[in-house]
Amino acid sequence: MRKIVFSALLAVALSAGAQTAADPVVMTVNGKPVTRAEFEYFYNKNCNIEGAVEQKSVAEYADMFVNYKLKVAAAEEARMDTAVSFRQEFETYRDMQLMPYLVDSAYIDSVAVSLYDRTKERLQGKDLLRPAHILVLLRQKATEADKERAKQRIDSIYGLLKGGLDFAEAAKKFSQDPGTARTGGLLPWVGPGALLKEFEDVAYTLQPGQMSEPFLSPVGYHIVLMKERKQLEPYDTLRPQILASLHRQGIEEASAEAHIKKLIDASGGRLTREAVIDSVLNARSAANPDLQFLVKEYYEGLLMYAVSKQHVWDVAEKNEAALEAYYKKNKKKYRWTEPRFKGFVFHYKNPKEKKAIKKFLAKQTGDNWRAEVKKRFNKDSVQVLVNGPYLCKRGENPYVDQYIFKTGQGRVLPSFPYSDVAGKKLSQPKSYRDVKSLVVADYQEELEKAWVADLRAKYPFEIDHEVLKTVNNH
């Protein structure tokens, strides 16, 4: 039997691989072929559908796709695919996609039946109960005086109920059980052993619609109203509810793992978990190639993100000298057509502090200004509210409009009736920091172009233009 299972899995893997024989190679990047089916998957998903962010011709996309594959090659050469964090994220996603194919419905049914049987055994023929209750709490070390006050309170509530007060309204108003008070005291369906013995003993004496007299338990005084009671329904009736509950608890994942273990055990240990997953992926991809491409897309996407972050994004974000040099070289690109205000908006209680606040904020250039404001002005109580720093033009902030551009009117805050701004009005950027997001984006683009040029020189690639012509046309 073990040989049969192992051979079957191996055959599936081999047959799935053979499926690509009739699928021509549209390009080869660093020795790795890209089939027409794979290229079509990516192209149609990203560029050839209604609403796509950017429409590209097949030839245009092919050139971009080469760059994409070159970045993946660089990441693999750097062994980024072996990093623990990468493996964990990729395998979690891959397994999630494959889980529906590994779920064993027989296993799930067996768990559901077992759960039902245990519940039935625990009930021992007794009813399930749906009670509501009102609780007056007693502390663990309550004094006799405390007990007497609690008894008087519960008796008073009981009197109101006997006088016609609605139980749910009384529970909402008087019950000291916060978990049930807001629902009118209603508890979930319960059976033997689920409640305090004192509570259970009283509850099982009540029929639907009957209310108990006040009684004492280890947590306080209760009044119980029995809402419903019933015998446990047959399994077939409850099966949908049980399965829904198991689903919420992750039964599918447990089933998939049990199925994987079963296959590993059947192989006599020759199969690993990864081998089983790969075999399932190959088998399912034979009927649904998009599944394999979906998993591959995520794998390569993670790698491209990691390698791009290392070679482009982090470099552009963190290299202050390079950003300043790039800005100075391309200053004309970042000229403003209208002035900006650079600084803070502040609201304050004491008008005598205005000058000191403005002077203080004008000197704040780092990221520690919040702590400094608290230390200088808000040590004992909040006297000043500070927002910013801003870099904004006319129409982007009402307080800046009021105090700098002399238009508009900022809202007066009730607790901080005075407002002002601290900073400078700039006709043009003074450094790259004044237009940093734009500079970073442009510098990233420059780094990207240089990096891609290096990759194209380093790794071999070839596009079969005749096959490319048949994309979405065969």
382: its two tokens = 């909040």
Distance CA(474)–CA(468), nearest Å, equals 11
What does the pLDDT read at residue 56? 83
Tell me what pLDDT residue 140 has.
Answer: 83
Residue 142 has pLDDT above 50, yes or no: yes
Q: With a cut of 80, say whether residue 16 has pLDDT above it.
A: no
- For the chain, the domains span 1-123+236-330+433-474, 126-230, 336-427
Task: Provide the pLDDT confidence category of residue 48 given band limits of 50, 70 and 90.
Answer: low
pLDDT at 13 over 50: no
Q: Is residue 53 scored above 80 in pLDDT? A: no
| Rounded mean pLDDT, 373-386 | 93
pLDDT at residue 295 tops 60: yes
Does pLDDT of 262 surpass 70?
Answer: yes
What does DSSP assign to residue 416?
Answer: B
Q: Binning pLDDT at 50, 70 and 90, where does residue 9 land?
A: very low
**Backbone φ and ψ of 198, nearest 5°:** -60, -40
Better-predicted residue by pLDDT, 101 or 460: 460
pTM: 0.67
* Average pLDDT of the residues of the chain: 90
379-415 b/e with 16+ CB inside 10 Å = b? eeeebbbbebbbbbbbeebebbbbbbbeeeebeeeee
d(CA 26, CA 467): 5
Cβ neighbors of 197 (< 8 A, separation 6 or more) are: none
Give pLDDT, residue 49. 61
Closest CA relative to residue 306, chosen from 89, 159, 464: 89
pLDDT of 99 over the 90 cut: no
Band (203; pLDDT cuts 50, 70, 90): very high
Q: Residue 415: its pLDDT value, please?
A: 92
pLDDT at 7: 40
* CA distances in angstroms from 219 to 186, 195, 201, listed in the order given: 17, 12, 15
Query: Would you say residue 123 has pLDDT above 80?
Result: yes
Q: Which of the following CATH numbers is that of domain 126-230: 3.40.50.300, 3.40.50.1110, 3.10.50.40, 3.90.1570.10?
A: 3.10.50.40
Q: How far apart are CA 214 and CA 254, in angstroms?
A: 46
Position 282 scores a pLDDT of 87
pLDDT given for residue 2 in this prediction = 40
Model confidence over 27-43: pLDDT tens digits?
999 999 999 999 999 99
- What does the H/E/C string look like for 137-205? ECCCCCCHHHHHHHHHHHHHHHHHHHCCCCHHHHHHHHCCCHHHHCCCCECCCECCCCCCHHHHHHHCC
The predicted structure's pLDDT at residue 141: 85
pLDDT at 162 over 70: yes
Query: How high is the pLDDT of residue 139?
Result: 87
Question: What is the model's pLDDT at position 85?
Answer: 95
